Chains A and B, each alone.
Chain A
Amino acid sequence: MKTKHALAELVDRKLLTRQRHSALYVYLSAQRTKAREQQKQRREQALDLPSALLGSKCPPAVQEAKAALLLFWATLDEKQRRLYAGLDRRRSGQRWSREPIQVFDHDFPSAAQGVGVPYGIYDPLLNQGFISVGTSKDTSAFAVDTIRWWWVQFGRQAYPHAEGILIVADGGGRNGYRTRL
């Protein structure tokens, strides 16, 4: 029996409760008061994840030291692929026209010259976002290249004493756990 099936059975038997929390099903106690407390703690944790990673009671200097050791909390999010340099090309640049320029209402892959594959990194400590746009496929190698690019260009300057990077990413696709690079 898989864990998720066992959990579903426990919910069916009303031995546990299940609630949706940030796109995840969370299994909580069947006792209402206990479940409410668990929900409250989960909400607080979600609000303060960077502090939780650092240790919320640390003074700023210790936080900085910890950051130097380990800290980079990144959110990698896969965005929609876009066709580029195809049909929108007619509108590129600035020009004046007395009549509206006719364009297609769809972007056709056959007419496009390629796709743009964006990959975003968010550094919550610095509150800075970075985005890299690939022009071929949505692969794990591209994700790794983007992280390496971020580190070389920005990360190692922001965290010169870091000994490791903590990456928080959603699973699946190029961030999937099955890929080995």
Chain B
Amino acid sequence: MKKLSIFIALSAIVFSGCKQDDEFSGPDLNNLYGGFSIVQDLDISNRNVDFSSGESTYFTATFSKNVEWNIEIKGLTSGAIRNIEGFSDNLNNVNALWNGTTSILPMFKGEDCAVEVTFLNQTDTLRDTLTVVAGRVNQGFLLSDFENGFPANWLTFIQSGANMSFNIQTSDLSAQGTHYYDMGGDVNWDWLKGYVYIPASAYGVQAFPLNSNPANVYFNTFYYKVPTLNNALILFQFCEDDNEDGTFNANNEDMYSIQVTPTAAGWSQLSVNYADLAALVNGAPSTPAGNGVKEPHKLMQVNILHLANPTSGYAQSYIDYLIFTENGPLIP
């Protein structure tokens, strides 16, 4: 009993030292509930920014209290939008830095932009403008952005249906640059409207120069859904030269695929990890025909097939900016 009493007494002594912290966590509530005003107006560090040469720009402003803010930068030619959000009492070179990326496609290009800063639960809005001299350049192996016409040595097959339109279009609303590839047509006897084969040989190599680890390789592209059409499918196929003999044999070598059903009108981004590709037969998973190992460094051809139910009428999709990236998906 004596030992227990000593133990209890010691424990009580330890607790007698407990006291409250003399600081608090999180932002000051008095500040949050205080009045809001703009202390220092919006300013832009670089009003003529060239993202293609690695430049960036940032915004500055100071407010009377911490507040949730949103900077919206809108390309006046492309319609591209970049949103930067934060919670602070100022904008600075850390929390309001813009390196040319986009939140809502298309990508920014050389164009004037409108900048607007809005605040949660506040009516104030700050506005300014800046000029993008040139859009950012992404790292990776670019298959094509269609800016220089249809790439040499790509192969196409186009069904002899009605209103077939497998060609390059020019528009400021392209996902990237000013050109995209338009695939459309009405083929009432076949799901296939047309395809594009992209062999590695078009780039002077036997296999695309990709990392051998499929988890590190991403295939990226932008695709466009025409708002009034709901029937298109785009199938991307990746043909591996398992035995490295310079040819692809579908009977005993791997072909992995991903099928995209455009659902949201306008441009969307597809970024798929090579490791997540699957062998598909008529859209359903199947066993690969080759060694069953995903080997991006043996990829020798990419196929793009435009499909639609033959009874569904005219189908159309656009694609733009086909690029392989490493260690992460494309950040447009």
Q: Does B associate with A? A: no
Binding site for B on A (CB under 8 A): none
